Amino acid sequence: MSIRLDTDSLSDLATKETILMPPAQLILAVKKPDYLGVSKWDFRLGRRAISARVEDVKFLAEFQGRRKDVRPGDALRCMVSVEMRYGFDNELISETYVINEVVEVLEDKHYQGELFDG
C-alpha cells in the first residue's frame, strides 16, 4: 500500500499551532520581482532572504502593465502579514509572508559616479 502526501499536507500534520500576525508596515528590499504574476517575489528583510506573495491586485496590475517600475535593488514599503507555524516540539516550522498592500516603491537612489568625475 502506498501513501502520497503533498508538502502542504505533511506540513499540516507536523503543525501543532499556527499564529497569524496582523499586517504591519515593513520595508522589503527587492531581490527578484515576479514579472509573470504566478509566483512569489524574493526580498531581503534585514540580512535574511525571504519570499512573499503579493496580494495587492492594484499594485500588481500597475506593475505588470508597466505603469509601475520596480527593479532589483529597489524597496517596497508595504503592509505585510506573517503566518508562523510551530511543531509539536514548539519549534518554528515555517513562516509565510503575504504582502497585503504596497504603500510606496522606494527607488534605489544609490549612484555610483564615474571614476574620474570632476
CATH number at residue 43: 2.40.50
What is the tally of structural domains in the chain?
1
The model's pTM = 0.81
pLDDT in the model for residue 114: 55
Query: Is residue 25, in this structure, part of any structural domain at all?
Result: yes
Residue 88 lies in a domain: yes
Per-residue model confidence (pLDDT) at position 16: 92
Question: Mean pLDDT, consecutive 10-residue segments, the chain of 118 residues?
Answer: 69 88 97 87 96 95 93 96 95 95 91 53
**pLDDT of res. 5:** 67
Show the domain range for 89.
16-106
| pLDDT for residue 117 | 53
Considering only CA atoms, which of 102, 108, 32 is closest in space to residue 67? Answer: 102
